[in-house]
Amino acid sequence: MGVFRTTPSSDTAAIAEPSTSGSDAAGLPAPDLSSRPAAPAPSRGGSPAERAAPDATAVRVTARGRGRARTGHPWVYRSDLESVPALAGGEVVRVEGPHGDHLGLGLYSASSLIAVRLFRRRSGPVDPAFWGRRLDAALALREVLFPEATALRLVYGESDGLPSFIADRYGDYLVVQLLSQAAERLRDVWVGHLIGRLAPRGVLARNDVRVRELEGLPATVELLHGNVPDTVEVRLEDVRLIADLRGGQKTGAFLDQRENYRAAGALARGRVLDAFSFQGGFALHAARGAERVEAVEISAAAVRRGEEGVRLNRLENVSFVEANAFDYLHEMDARGERYDMVILDPPAFAKNRRALEAGLRGYKEINLRALRLLSPGGILVTCSCSHHVTPELFLDVIAAAAHDAGRACQVLERRGQSRDHPVLATCPETGYLKCVIARVP
């Protein structure tokens, strides 16, 4: 698959909505989307992709909503609507301030607390050509960032001006997520354009995520085009991995850690412990410089994938342990074991504000154990993917853990998610991953 195929994408006027047979206006194979139910009919004339934005329903927001929108944040909360429009959900709407001043165009949700997702500041037609240009811009960025990558994020929602739409590439296959009513309605247009540009062998929708429940949408795993295997081998930085497309975490692998894998691997020496390893992204990269790597993971399926990765990369110094990482860290500490590097990449401990306090305690506990396990000069690589744990809070947790462990802690690097997951400056919610690399002198 030529991921960044040189199909003439600038001629977006020729892009038509995909059909279920024949070919599209650019002469490319039409996407096979016939195996799934049709998207719900829009509540007023035409689909969101066909309707010119000046004819869209106006949604008026409060002064607070107006202030938020003017900062550039793309979300309008339901509590900031002056009145709730009689729309089914998924429509393009015009967002106005309390006095009718134009704030932008957005995609409406009839169910979510995020009532409108703004995607354009000025008015104008919103048609397949418009969305095609947005998708082409997202692809062009990735071509510059990772021209040789076989696994990467192609589209990252609001950051790419395509609200609540995720598209990841794994070799010859695409895995997408449609996380709102509007994304669900626009899937033929968005997915069809990607098929026309990239010619994947198959497209899978991994819509088995809780956020869809908040949108009143079912949680499903659905084939949208061609055929997609359960697993596929990909290369992530310097390592071959098995991505579990249908049942793995996220869309099959932790693509957001790709550059952190490389940074950690460059510092790996001696004995390394990779806790919460999943299928070994950090462990396999660390193996190139380490003498021995212990990868601890509670999921039996992830352990099997990790062991496949060990065989693929012909490594003899990596062993997987199926165990609870909390318990394992505690046991190694009690035994007085020592490591030259400890890696912590746990799941989100604070998935909402209510869980923040407990989540911070969890992060402190594992970092305390990790710091106690490190030999002098050892390296700590510690991560948090909880959005509600800010970078400042995360550093506070590490400092508190170091104090309680009686260890000094030198922060060498503060990192985030890979560049194919760009952070929209006016939407901090798009920046969720923290990765701190520190040294214990």
Q: What are the pLDDT digits (tens) for 112-146?
A: 999 999 999 998 999 999 999 999 999 999 999 99
187-198: average pLDDT:
98
Q: Is the pLDDT of residue 328 over 80?
A: yes
Question: 55: pLDDT confidence band, cut at 50, 70 and 90?
Answer: confident
374-384 vs 339-344, strand pairing mode: parallel
How far, rounded to the nearest angstrom, does the alpha carbon of residue 164 sit from its chain's CA centroid?
10
Write out pLDDT tens, residues 58-110: 999 999 999 999 999 999 999 999 999 999 999 999 999 999 999 999 999 99
Query: What's residue 54's pLDDT?
Result: 59
Q: Is the pLDDT of residue 6 over 50?
A: no
Q: Is the pLDDT of residue 219 over 80?
A: yes
Q: Could you list the active site residues? A: 385
Question: 3: pLDDT confidence band, cut at 50, 70 and 90?
Answer: very low
More confident residue, 186 or 32: 186
24-37: average pLDDT:
36
Query: What's residue 47's pLDDT?
Result: 45
Q: 160 and 175 in contact (C-beta within 8 Å)?
A: no
- Of the listed ranges 32-36, 214-218, 296-300, 411-415, the least confidently predicted one is 32-36
Query: What's residue 237's pLDDT?
Result: 83
Q: 101 and 65 in contact (C-beta within 8 Å)?
A: no
- Of the listed ranges 32-36, 232-236, 249-253, 348-352, the least confidently predicted one is 32-36
Count the residues in the chain: 441
Q: 412 and 386 in contact (C-beta within 8 Å)?
A: no
Phi, psi of 125 (to 5 degrees): -70, 140
Q: Is the pLDDT of residue 14 over 80?
A: no
Write out pLDDT tens, residues 249-291: 899 999 999 999 999 999 999 999 999 999 999 999 999 999 9
Q: Is the pLDDT of residue 12 over 50?
A: no
More confident residue, 62 or 44: 62
Half-sphere exposure of 256 (CA within 13 A, CB side): 23
Q: Is 440 helix (H, G, I), strand (E, B) or coil?
A: strand
* Sign of CA pseudo-dihedral 37, 40, 46, 50: negative
Q: 281 and 241 in contact (C-beta within 8 Å)?
A: yes
339-344 vs 318-322, strand pairing mode: unpaired
Going by C-alpha positions, the residue among 126, 124, 65, 74 that lies closest to residue 98 is 65
Query: What's residue 53's pLDDT?
Result: 58
